[in-house]
Chain A
Amino acid sequence: MKNTLKQALQEQMKLVSLDDRQLENLMQMQKDSVRADNGKVKEQKEQGVVNTTNHRDTARLRFMQWSVAIAAVFAVASLSFILVSNFSNKTAPSLSTPNTLQGVSSEMIQKIADEVATNHLKMKPMEIQTAAISEVRNYFTELDFMPQLSQHVEGIGNSQLAGGRYCSIQGSTAAQLRYRDNKGDYVTLFETHYSPELFKQFPDVDKGQKPIVTFARGIKVTIWVEKGLLMASTEKPSS
């Protein structure tokens, strides 16, 4: 059917629109940004209140500062005592408890957690959509390792593989495998070659060590080494 160029272009563009998932992600991004801004404003307002108090009642503020300082000293002393007691009771470093960071760089944990949580929230389109790991392996030809399934991820709400895309973790080329659990939520598994020089020490589940569990950007992040790969999973927190 013939039409003016303008009308033909307009008709075609009407068919180009965001799908529900993409739209939801973009709206959520905006909501998160507003929430973060509101948090900052609240913090600034609170600071403003403290400053006003400072002008009005300096002596009271000094007393409060001293109280806080003394409480902090006690807290640090107590924490040191507990840590020293625990350390002396253990014969070897253990990663059996979630959030235990012994022997692992907490800075590296936070960097990885932040990076994978950001990627999880972005929900960029999958480059391959399949439930078969063999097809996923065939797709990722540019990796210097072979993507593996992880029992840890498949144990989360009977998650099923949905597909994947290339990504990176701390500059190291990685695979991002996306799973869907029985509630319909996405769980993302990130895998990259485990280089102790780059990533430092992480718990190896093949040696019976338990993964590190932390949170970043409101996302539950679990990090471990399995089958010679550094793996990180991201999921919505349970509560």
Chain B
Amino acid sequence: MQFDKQQLDQLYRYCYALTLHRDNAYDLLQASLEKFLKQHSSQSPKPHSALAYLRRIIRNQFIDTLRHNKCVEFQALTDNESSEAIPINSDSLEDLIINEELVDLVWSILTVPEREIVFLWAIEGFTSTEISAELDLPRGTVLSRIHRLRKKITEQLSDEIGDLENNRSNQVLSSPRGESS
């Protein structure tokens, strides 16, 4: 069982989303792949989803590294967040619009658990149910995190971010004949 270029790039991006540093992302991927290969020989049965399994190893390896370096973010990654079920739409991030140049800023204001959710949602295309299965979290917790995420992004980037609905309304208002495009 081998990962091809596309899968390795996919995993590298996950590492990058966690570390926000290219060299550290590569180190993390390399160490995790080494662990994976030790645990799963080519003769042993293939795990149900090798990619998901390796992502889990990456996550644990990253937590170990943070613990080793005594970083604060580790606590946020494993805290016992209340599983309050906030009745919100799980797609509440879908309608946010942003200036492309500010994407780095978005990553930088998010905590590790938040970046992980954003990565799984935006890059892997997971639904909130899939994210909760991947992270082994109740769906309510994922939804509440998404809710807080949206709030955080819109508050901190209030001048630069909007949502599609407002954007359309603005376009309607600004159109001389009141037509939307």
Contact = CB atoms under 8 A, between A and B. Distances in A.
A25 B164 CA distance: 44
Contacts, number: 103
B57 interface: no
A4 B98 CA distance: 6
Given A29-B34, A37-B41, A124-B27, A23 B5 contact: yes
B104 A12 contact: yes
| Contact-residue bracket for chain A | 20 to 34
A183 interface: no
Given A8-B103, A9-B103, A9-B118, A29 B9 contact: no
Contacts of A4: 94-98, 164
Contact of B9 (A18, A31, A41): A18
B2 A34 contact: yes
Given A23-B5, A37-B41, A125-B26, A13 B123 contact: yes
A16 interface: yes
A84 to B, nearest CB: 43
A38 interface: yes
A6 B93 contact: yes
A3 B98 contact: yes
B12 A17 contact: yes
B33 interface: yes
Contacts of B153: 5
A12 B41 CA distance: 35
Contact of B98 (A8, A17, A26, A40): A8
B29 interface: yes
Contacts of A12: 100, 103-104
B147 interface: no
A43 interface: no
A17 B122 CA distance: 17
A9 B124 CA distance: 11
Contact of B27 (A5, A9, A29, A125): A125
B4 to A, nearest CB: 9
Interface string A25-62: 11101110110011011000000000000000000000
A10 B161 CA distance: 17
Contacts of B3: 26, 30
Nearest to A35: B42
Contacts of B12: 16-18, 22
Q: Which of A17, A29, A38, A122 has the most CB of B within 10 A?
A: A17
B75 interface: no
A11 interface: yes
B158 interface: no
B168 to A, nearest CB: 13
A10 B13 CA distance: 11
Contacts of A125: 23, 26-27
A29 B30 contact: yes
Contacts of A8: 98-100, 102-103
B62 interface: no
A29 B5 CA distance: 13
23 contacts: A1-B100, A2-B99, A3-B100, A4-B96, A4-B164, A5-B93, A5-B98, A6-B93, A6-B122, A8-B98, A8-B103, A11-B103, A12-B100, A12-B103, A13-B17, A16-B25, A18-B9, A27-B2, A30-B33, A31-B2, A38-B42, A40-B41, A125-B27
Given A1-B100, A13-B13, A27-B2, 11 more contacts: A5-B153, A8-B99, A8-B102, A10-B123, A12-B100, A12-B103, A17-B9, A29-B37, A40-B41, A124-B27, A125-B27
Interface of A: 1-6, 8-13, 16-18, 22-23, 25-27, 29-31, 33-34, 37-38, 40-41, 122, 124-125
